[in-house]
Amino acid sequence: MVAEAAPLERGQRVRLADQLYGKIFESIASGRLNVGDKLPSEHEICDQFGVSRPVVREALLRLRADGLVTAHQGLGTFVSHQPAPRLKTFPDVQNVGAYLRAQEVRVALEGDAARLAALRRNDEQLERIAAAHRAFVAALEQGQVSAEADLAFHASIADASGNDFYWGVLENIHEAISGFMRLSLSLTRTGSRQRAQRVADEHAAILSAIREQDGERARVAMQFHLGQARHRLVDRERD
C-alpha cells in the first residue's frame, strides 16, 4: 500500500511529482512497502492520488534512478531497496523528492566550485575552509552536528571559487539543501560510527585537494561526496 489515499496538494511550492515521490518513499521507509513488494499500477496510483499518468511516470522514473524500485516488463514495479527505517521518524521525509533534485544540481555546481576554489583560493580563504571543516568534525564527534555547520563548509568553498554566481545559485535552493542536510545528518547522528567517519573523511579529501591546489581532484572529491550523501539517504545498506 502506498501511503494514505489522499489527493496531492496542487498549487504548493513542491511539485506534484516530488510530492508523489515523497509519498512512495515514505511508504518504503516505513515498511508499508518492503523489498520485493509490488507497487500498485500506474492507473491505481493515478486514482489514489488524483494525478495524471505523466506525474506518476516521472515519480516512478526517479524512484528507479535512485535504486529504490525496479520495473519488470509485463509484471510491474517492485521495491528493490529500502532507506534506513529511522527516516520515517523525521517530519520532512515526504519532501525528499525535492531534496534529491536539488542534490543533482549541487553535484554539477559544487564540483566545479571546488575545482575553482583549488585553483583560486588564497591563504585566508583556505583557512576559512579548514576552520569550517574542523568545526564540522568537532560537532560530528559530539553528535551535535547541524545543517548550518555542514553548509558553512560548502559555503566557504563556494566563496573561495571567486565567482559569486555559485553561491547565488546555492542560495536559491537553500531550503532544499538545508532539508537534505537535516535528513542526512540526522541519519549520521543516529547511525554507525563508520558512517560519521566516512562523512568526515570525504570533507577532508575535498579540503586536501583544495589545499594542494589540485582542481580536478577537488572536483572529483566534491562530486563523490555529494553522490555518497545521496546514496546514504536512499539506501539502508549505506549506514
Cell of 75: 509484471
pLDDT tens track for 155-177 = 999 999 999 999 888 888 888 88
Give phi and psi for 142, each to the nearest 5.
-95, 0
Instruction: Report the alpha-carbon distance of residue 60 to residue 68 in Å, rounded.
Output: 9
State the pTM of this model.
0.78
What pLDDT score was predicted for residue 55?
Answer: 93
Reported confidence tier of residue 13, pLDDT bands at 50, 70, 90: very low
Show me where the domains of the chain are located: 16-82, 95-234
Q: Alpha helices, DSSP H only, in the chain?
A: 16-30, 42-49, 53-65, 96-120, 123-141, 147-160, 164-172, 174-190, 193-211, 215-234
- Angstrom distances, CA of residue 148 to CA of 71, 135, 177, 207: 38, 11, 10, 18
Grid-cell match 537534505, residue found:
180
What pLDDT score was predicted for residue 233?
Answer: 80
CATH for the stretch 16-82: 1.10.10.10
CATH of 95-234, one of 3.40.640.10, 1.10.1040.10, 1.20.120.530, 1.20.1090.10: 1.20.120.530
Eight-class DSSP state of 40: P
What pLDDT score was predicted for residue 234?
Answer: 77
